[in-house]
């Protein structure tokens, strides 16, 4: 059916375009060489050109819909400006009691800026931003997670419904630079100038100048039409310099409002009733923005030169702009909610596509209380052919020991990402996932901040204090720590580390810590379980199997790696001598 429709639009476009070209040429040639009456042929050829453009737009749109269907389940390669994508997260109020918000430290520790593009298949700008917001706002209420899972499953399994949603979102599309978000989330909008009433007066004069043709004939063109046109031309482009960016944003916002209305019925019939309610309510309040935004010119396209002349002569653009701004200011709260919700649908669609493109995933199972988690064969989405590992914790903590590069940090990130995925996208990269609801916090990649004047140790100490302050709440903290207090001396590091680990596990926190400090094992006792990673290093080979094992690693590989890399024998021998003397 769609193939036939595409062929029909393509044929109609070709026919109308051919007729436009032929009729325009005939009108010009015979009007110029035979009789000026033939110039009236342009009255037919110009509408034919506009009709051809309409059919071409329809054909192009259907092509884009087909492309979306072909790309379903596939990773989308494109440039992403994370600085812009995160602006919605930065703009929203963090006051939803059903959610926990991931801090910058944890987001960066889990390398989520690199993971985000793997999931992102969004069609719209609000969708890009809402997906980022969703990933940084894990639910802490089980019914909310279950409901989101049902919506994702609907989009994943119902091809017909999904196709309709995709087609509607494609009408919105992406906005370069995304200036719509600051328009509705910013603190202020462009103010209507005190002389704005002159725009209406000049528009009335433009209408009057056209009417004057009936009384003055051709003289009206020079006496009234041309002077009014040039005055309005000056007004139009003077105003355009001030409001051009906001015009594009209002135009984009009007598309969001229009599409939300179109989608409402379909959404309500397919289990997205809460979204339909918001869309219908907002449309009733903001439909005038849709109408005024649709009248604004954004440049480009075959039809726009004609529209541009109308905009200039009757000052359509500037008059509609300030009317739309007034309505936006009045309905900011509703427009913000609409923007987020239209983005959420796109984000859920993206998650469904991500699921469809991976072989092994599982939907998480949750329990109401405790600090329990069991994940079987979890992998990290950034690693191809990743070695799966498991974890099982019930109210206690885990200390992981092992050699450098053996997989400890990757394991921490793998566990953290899967917990975050469970409570955000309802999709875990494992064979099984069962656990409590957690608030996720990490201290994995603290670094010196030269500009801010913070040392490595200070940055790490602040991150750990944030985790300590978050513990003790009804919802447990799941925290992952890599090489605790590595930025300070060994005596203070080990003493402070032991006390922090014992404190956290007593205050409703599940702790996984990776460390080289084997002394911690004796200091924290049976409050923690012990696991390790190991390696196989020879003079010619460096091998890691990246499998976690129960117990404590006694291997040390720093000197072995130095030897493998070709350090001078003198350094290796004297280093080993120092180590032996210390042990003895």
Indicate if 318 and 429 belong to the same structural domain: no
User: Distance of CA 275 to CAs 38, 62, 183, 261, 337, Å?
Assistant: 56, 26, 22, 11, 10
Asked if 63 contacts 113 with a C-beta cutoff of 8 angstroms, the reply is no
State residue 299's pLDDT score.
46
Does some domain include residue 316?
A: yes
Nearest to 400 by CA among 481, 306, 289: 481
Does some domain include residue 193?
A: yes
Domain final residue pick, 70, 87, 109: 70
State residue 218's pLDDT score.
63
Rounded-to-integer distance, Cα 306 and Cα 50, Å: 10
Positive or negative, the CA dihedral 114, 115, 117, 122 is: negative
Nearest to 515 by CA among 422, 412, 415: 412
Phi, psi of 411 (to 5 degrees): -65, -45
CB neighbour list of residue 281: distance below 8 Å, 6 or more residues apart: 334
CB neighbour list of residue 134: distance below 8 Å, 6 or more residues apart: 344, 347, 424, 425
For residue 140, the number of C-alpha atoms closer than 13 Å in the C-beta half-sphere is 18
Q: How do residues 70-91 score in pLDDT, each as one tens digit? A: 788 888 888 899 999 999 999 9
Does some domain include residue 569?
A: no
Indicate if 334 and 369 belong to the same structural domain: no
Domain final residue pick, 29, 51, 70: 70
Indicate if 321 and 371 belong to the same structural domain: no
Indicate if 419 and 509 belong to the same structural domain: yes
Rounded-to-integer distance, Cα 466 and Cα 106, Å: 11
Positive or negative, the CA dihedral 204, 209, 210, 216 is: positive
Does some domain include residue 151?
A: no
State residue 540's pLDDT score.
64
State residue 448's pLDDT score.
40
Q: How many residues does the chain have?
A: 584
Q: Number of structural domains, the chain? A: 3
Indicate if 334 and 378 belong to the same structural domain: no
Indicate if 390 and 463 belong to the same structural domain: yes
Indicate if 331 and 409 belong to the same structural domain: no
State residue 545's pLDDT score.
84
Please list, residue by residue across 365-392, b when 16 or more beta carbons sit within 10 angstroms of its beta carbon and e when fewer do.
Answer: ebeeeebbbbbbebbbbeeeebbbbebe
Indicate if 376 and 512 belong to the same structural domain: yes
Task: Tell me, rounded to whole angstroms, the distance of Cα 206 from its chain centroid.
Answer: 46
Query: Which range marks the domain in which residue 248 is found?
Result: 186-338
Indicate if 303 and 380 belong to the same structural domain: no
Classified as helix, coil or strand, 514 is strand
Taking only the tens of pLDDT, the chain with its 584 residues reads: 566 777 787 788 788 888 888 888 777 777 777 777 777 777 777 777 778 777 777 777 777 677 777 788 888 888 899 999 999 999 988 777 778 999 999 999 999 999 999 999 999 999 999 999 999 999 999 999 999 999 999 999 999 999 889 989 999 999 988 889 988 998 777 777 778 788 888 888 888 887 877 677 666 667 778 888 888 888 888 877 777 767 888 889 999 999 999 999 999 999 999 999 999 999 999 988 877 766 665 444 444 566 677 778 888 878 888 888 888 888 999 999 999 999 999 999 999 999 999 988 999 999 988 899 999 999 999 999 899 999 999 988 999 988 777 788 999 999 999 999 999 999 999 999 999 999 999 998 755 443 344 567 788 888 899 999 999 899 999 999 998 887 777 788 888 888 999 999 999 999 999 988 888 888 887 889 999 888 776 666 677 888 998 988 776 677 777 887 888 888 888 888 887 776 55
Does some domain include residue 156?
A: no
Does some domain include residue 196?
A: yes
Q: What is the dihedral of CA 404, 407, 411, 417, to 10 degrees?
A: 100
Indicate if 427 and 532 belong to the same structural domain: yes
**For the domain that residue 524 is a member of, what is the CATH number?**
3.40.50.300
Indicate if 517 and 371 belong to the same structural domain: yes
Q: What is the DSSP string of 427-491?
A: -BSSSEEEE---EEEEES----BTTTTB-HHHHHHHHHHHHHHHTTSSSPEEEEEESTTTTS-HH
The beta-strand segments (E) located in 239-291 are none
Rounded-to-integer distance, Cα 136 and Cα 96, Å: 13
Does some domain include residue 376?
A: yes
Indicate if 379 and 296 belong to the same structural domain: no
Rounded-to-integer distance, Cα 115 and Cα 382, Å: 7
**What angle separates helix 316-330 from helix 226-269, to the nearest 10 degrees?**
40
Asked if 350 contacts 216 with a C-beta cutoff of 8 angstroms, the reply is no
Within 304-440, residue ranges assigned H as helices are: 304-314, 316-330, 332-356, 408-424
Does some domain include residue 541?
A: yes
């Amino acid at each position: 059916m769609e193939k036939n429709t595409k062929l029909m639009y393509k044929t109609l476009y070709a026919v109308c375009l051919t007729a436009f070209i032929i009729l325009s040429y005939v009108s010009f040639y015979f009007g110029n060489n035979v009789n000026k009456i033939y110039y009236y042929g342009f009255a037919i050829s110009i509408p034919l050109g506009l009709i051809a453009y309409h059919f071409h737009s329809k054909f192009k749109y259907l092509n884009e819909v087909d492309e979306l269907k072909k790309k379903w389940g596939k990773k989308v390669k494109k440039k992403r400006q994370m600085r812009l994508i995160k602006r919605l997260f930065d703009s929203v109020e963090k006051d939803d009691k059903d959610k926990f918000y991931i801090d910058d430290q944890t987001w960066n520790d889990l390398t989520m800026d690199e993971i985000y593009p793997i999931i992102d298949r969004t069609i719209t700008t609000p969708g890009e931003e809402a997906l980022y917001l969703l990933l940084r706002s894990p639910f802490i209420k089980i019914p909310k997670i279950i409901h989101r899972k049902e919506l994702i499953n609907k989009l994943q399994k119902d091809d017909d419904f999904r196709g309709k949603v995709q087609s509607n979102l494609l009408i919105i599309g992406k906005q370069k630079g995304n200036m719509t978000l600051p328009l509705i989330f910013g603190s202020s909008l462009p103010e209507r100038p005190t002389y704005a009433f002159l725009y209406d007066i000049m528009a009335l004069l433009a209408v009057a100048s056209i009417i004057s043709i009936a009384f003055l004939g051709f003289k009206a063109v020079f006496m009234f039409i041309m002077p009014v046109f040039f005055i309005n031309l000056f007004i139009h482009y003077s105003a355009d310099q001030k409001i051009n960016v906001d015009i594009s944003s209002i135009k984009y916002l009007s598309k969001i409002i229009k599409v939300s209305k179109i989608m409402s019925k379909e959404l309500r019939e397919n289990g997205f009733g809460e979204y339909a309610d918001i869309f219908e309510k907002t449309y009733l309040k903001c439909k005038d923005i849709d109408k005024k935004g649709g009248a604004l010119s954004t440049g480009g396209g075959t039809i726009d030169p004609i529209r541009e002349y109308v905009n200039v002569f009757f000052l359509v653009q500037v008059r509609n702009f300030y009317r739309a701004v007034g309505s936006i200011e009045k309905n900011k709260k509703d427009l913000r909610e609409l923007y987020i919700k239209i983005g959420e649908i796109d984000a859920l669609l993206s998650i469904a596509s991500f699921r469809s493109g991976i072989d092994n995933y599982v939907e998480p199972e949750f329990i109401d209380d405790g600090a329990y988690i069991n994940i079987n064969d979890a992998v990290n989405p950034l690693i191809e052919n990743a070695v799966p590992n498991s974890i099982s914790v019930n109210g206690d903590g885990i200390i992981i020991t092992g050699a450098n590069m053996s997989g400890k940090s990757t394991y921490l990130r793998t566990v953290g990402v899967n917990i975050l995925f469970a409570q955000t996208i309802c999709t875990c990269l494992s064979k099984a996932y069962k656990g409590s609801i957690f608030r996720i916090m990490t201290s994995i990649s603290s670094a010196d901040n030269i500009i801010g004047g913070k040392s490595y140790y200070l940055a790490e100490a602040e991150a750990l204090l944030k985790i300590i302050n978050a513990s003790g709440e009804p919802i447990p903290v799941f925290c992952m720590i890599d090489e605790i207090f590595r930025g300070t001396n060994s005596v203070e590091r080990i003493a402070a580390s032991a006390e922090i680990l014992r404190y956290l596990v007593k205050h409703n926190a599940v702790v996984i810590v990776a460390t080289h400090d084997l002394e911690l094992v004796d200091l924290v006792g049976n409050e923690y379980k012990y696991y390790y990673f190991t390696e196989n290093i020879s003079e010619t080979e460096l091998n890691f199997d990246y499998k976690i094992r129960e117990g404590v690693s006694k291997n040390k590989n720093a000197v072995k790696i130095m030897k493998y890399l070709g350090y001078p024998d003198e350094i290796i021998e004297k280093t080993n001598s120092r180590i032996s003397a210390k042990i003895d």
